Amino acid sequence: MKSLRIALTKGRLEKDTVALFEKIGFDCSAVKNKGRKLILPVGDNQFEVVLAKAADVITYVEHGVCDLGVVGKDTILEHGSGFYEVLDLGFGKCKFALAGPKNKEFFSGYSSKTIATKYPNVARNYFENKGMDVRIIKIEGSVELAPLLGLSDAIVDIVETGSTLKENGLEVIESICNISARLIVNAASLKIRKAEIESLAERMDRAKEGTE
C-alpha cells in the first residue's frame, strides 16, 4: 500500500508541523531542504508531505488525493466541510474579530452596515447569527484600508496581536472565534486506513502535549 499523504499549508504552519513531526522522531530533512519540490518523503518513506496553499489543502483532502491535511481553522470555516477535523494542533493561534474605527459605535442605529473581509462566508454566518442585515464586500489585500477609505463601516479579519489595527486607528469591536491549526482527514481514507491514521494522530497529539 502506498504511503499516507499529508498536505501541509505552506509557511508558518508548515514549519510548526515539521517541528512537531521531528518531536515525534520523524526525519524531516527532505522537507526542510526541499528546494522547489512540492511532494517530499518524511522519515524512511513513512509518509509523504505535499506543500500547498491553505485552501488547496482542503481541496486535496476533500478529493482524496491527500489522506490528511494541516490547515488553519480560518480556512476550514471559510472553505471546507467534506472531511473530518480530528485534532487541534495548538499552534497558529489567533482569532476572527469584527473591527472598526475607534470610538465609533457599530451596533447602534438601524441602518444597514457594510463589511469588508477576505472571509465572506465567516462574516455572513456571524451576522446571520446576530440577525443583522449587512452588505459584504470581499477584499483580497489589506482589509484595514476599507474603513479608512470609507468603503466599509467595519471589517471581519484575523487578529493576532492587534498592532496593525491599532496603527491604522481601528480596534476590535467583538471577538468572533478562536483559530488554530487543525489536522483534517479524508472520509474514505479514515475508513480504509483507520489504524494508520489514528496512530499518527495520537502520536501528534502526544507530541504537542509533550508526552511523546
**Residue 94 CA: distances (Å) to CA of 81, 84, 179, 193, 204:** 21, 22, 5, 32, 21
State residue 74 phi and psi, 5-degree precision. Answer: -60, -45
Residues with pLDDT less than 70, the chain = 210-212
Q: Which value, to the nearest 10 degrees, does the dihedral of the CA atoms of residues 196, 201, 203, 207 take?
A: 160
What's the confidence (pLDDT) of residue 86? 96
Domains plus CATH for the chain? 4-92+180-208 (3.40.190.10), 94-179 (3.40.190.10)
What's the confidence (pLDDT) of residue 83? 95
What's the confidence (pLDDT) of residue 107? 84
Closest CA to 49 of 191, 63, 57: 57
SS (H, E, C) the chain: CCCEEEEEECCHHHHHHHHHHHHHCCCCHHHHCCCCCCEEEECCCCEEEEEECHHHHHHHHHCCCCCEEEEEHHHHHHHCCCCEEEEECCCCCEEEEEEEECCCCCCCCCCCEEEEECCHHHHHHHHHHCCCCEEEEECCCCCCHHHHCCCCCEEEEEECCCHHHHHCCEEEEEEEEEECEEEEECHHHHHHCHHHHHHHHHHHHHHHCCCC
What's the confidence (pLDDT) of residue 212? 53
pTM across the whole model: 0.90
